[in-house]
Amino acid sequence: MPISVSDDGRLDVTGLTAGYGQVTVVRDVNLRVDRGEFVCLLGANGVGKTTLLRAIVGDADVSNGSVTFDGRQLTGISSHRVTRAGMAIVPEGRGLVSDISVRDNLLLGSIPWNRKYSSAELSSSMDEIFDRFPILGQRRYQLAGHLSGGEQQMLAIGRALMSRPRLLVLDEPSLGLAPLLVRQVFDDLAAANRDGLTILVAEQNAAAALRVAERSLVMAGGRIVREGTADSLRDSHELRAMFLGTSKNGSEPDSAIAGSCSDAVNQSTPTQHHEGNHK
Ligand code: ATP
């Protein structure tokens, strides 16, 4: 397998083919996320976004290609060791433990580092999470299952941040949230990105993602079919096809859906939020 070398906090995915056992889902994917970037992976239901993210974090079967992060070869290593390498994932559906407290869910996120950090350091990490998401601080002793959907998404992000990642990978953070909460979650992610966190997010909600991501990749049929800024993706056939859920040899999509796609892309603003990151 090829081993690419980088030592600058960059994620490099090269020729990645992955799936589950004999089932191949992701084919020959090349993807790069530079340190400090906010990159979005767009695609309709079932195109392989989750599988690609799972392959990156060591949770799917890789049959070809490589994943390197910060110059370290991660292909084929366990998800636990991927976390130690500086990556954290917020899975689709959040993966919270609903019958334990907010605080205890956050502590679960620190497990990869428990032996390395003192309790004072863990407590200071938790305070940072409460500064970023004050509502979690107010509700720290409540059961996670009693939080609203938006608060649960914040908790899932907070739990991932407890492992002090340099790259945060999120799968469909808008899932099940009302539009205002989706906006809030993406604003929170943009703020974390301004603070230097590198972000890779898979989303079906193109409008929400394109508003804040500085670069996006469109996925279809297990492959990356288009890449660009929100501006450059405007009116792209691939993005319109994604809104339709199918790609029919270049035929025009339904006009109402095409309109909402253009609206979504037009509402997005190319990011201005990147100053201060360490490229
Ligand atoms: P969604 O937005 O619905 O999560 P996605 O783009 O993330 O879609 P995946 O979840 O990666 O897509 O699924 C891609 C394909 O892989 C689907 O056909 C799905 O049925 C299949 N798949 C997912 N998980 C498994 C699994 N554990 N074993 C076998 N096939 C799977």
| Counted domains in the chain | 2
Distance CA 186, CA 173 (A): 8
Distance 260 CA to ligand 1 centre (A): 26
- For residue 75, the model assigns a pLDDT of 83
Q: What is the pLDDT along the chain (279 residues), one digit of tens a residue?
A: 333 334 578 999 999 999 999 999 999 999 999 999 999 999 988 999 999 999 999 889 999 999 999 888 888 777 777 888 889 999 888 889 999 999 999 998 877 665 667 778 888 889 999 999 999 999 999 999 999 999 999 999 999 999 889 999 999 999 888 898 999 999 999 999 999 999 999 999 888 898 899 899 999 999 999 999 888 886 777 777 666 544 444 444 333 334 444 444 444 433 333 333 333
The amino acid occupying position 9 is G
258 with 61: CB under 8 angstroms?
Answer: no
Atom of ligand 1 nearest to the CA of 219: 6
In a domain, 201, yes or no: yes
CATH of the domain at 229: 3.40.50.300
In a domain, 140, yes or no: yes
Ligand 1 lined by 20 (C-beta under 6 Å): yes
> Is the same domain home to 268 and 207?
yes
- For residue 155, the model assigns a pLDDT of 95
Atom of ligand 1 nearest to the CA of 171: 7
Backbone phi and psi for residue 240, each to the nearest 5 degrees, phi listed first: -65, -40
Distance CA 131, CA 152 (A): 16
Domain boundary among 164, 190, 223: 164
Residue identifier of the C-alpha nearest atom 11 of ligand 1: 48
Ligand 1 lined by 174 (C-beta under 6 Å): no
Ligand 1 lined by 26 (C-beta under 6 Å): no
Tokens encoding 187 = 């604003």
> Is the same domain home to 16 and 134?
no
- For residue 123, the model assigns a pLDDT of 85
> Is the same domain home to 56 and 172?
yes
> Is the same domain home to 81 and 12?
yes
Atom of ligand 1 nearest to the CA of 53: 11
> Is the same domain home to 182 and 251?
yes
Residue identifier of the C-alpha nearest atom 30 of ligand 1: 20
- For residue 76, the model assigns a pLDDT of 75
Ligand 1 lined by 25 (C-beta under 6 Å): yes
Top mutation candidate among 17, 23, 171 for ligand 1, by most atoms within 8 Å of CB:
23
In a domain, 270, yes or no: yes
In a domain, 1, yes or no: yes
Q: Taking the mean position of all CA atoms in its chain, how far away is CA 15?
A: 20
In a domain, 279, yes or no: no
Backbone phi and psi for residue 11, each to the nearest 5 degrees, phi listed first: -95, 130
> Is the same domain home to 82 and 141?
no
Distance CA 220, CA 274 (A): 28
Straight-line distance from the first to the last Cα atom of the chain, in angstroms, rounded to the nearest whole number = 28
217 with 40: CB under 8 angstroms?
Answer: yes
> Is the same domain home to 67 and 128?
no
Domain boundary among 145, 164, 183: 164
Full-model pTM:
0.83
Distance 45 CA to ligand 1 centre (A): 8
> Is the same domain home to 171 and 234?
yes
Distance CA 18, CA 21 (A): 9
> Is the same domain home to 154 and 16?
no
Distance 49 CA to ligand 1 centre (A): 8
Coil, strand or helix at 36: coil
Residue 105: give the domain boundaries.
95-164
> Is the same domain home to 247 and 191?
yes
Domain boundary among 134, 164, 194: 164
40 with 174: CB under 8 angstroms?
Answer: no
For residue 73, what are the β-bridge partners? 68
- Of the candidates 92, 60, 87, 91, the one whose C-alpha atom is nearest the C-alpha of residue 76 is 60
Ligand 1 lined by 204 (C-beta under 6 Å): yes
In a domain, 149, yes or no: yes
Q: How many CB atoms lie within 10 A of CB 12?
A: 22
Calculated CA dihedral for residues 196, 89, 172, 72, nearest 10 degrees: 70
> Is the same domain home to 47 and 105?
no
Helix 179-194 vs helix 119-132: angle between axes, to the nearest 10 degrees? Answer: 130
> Is the same domain home to 144 and 65?
no
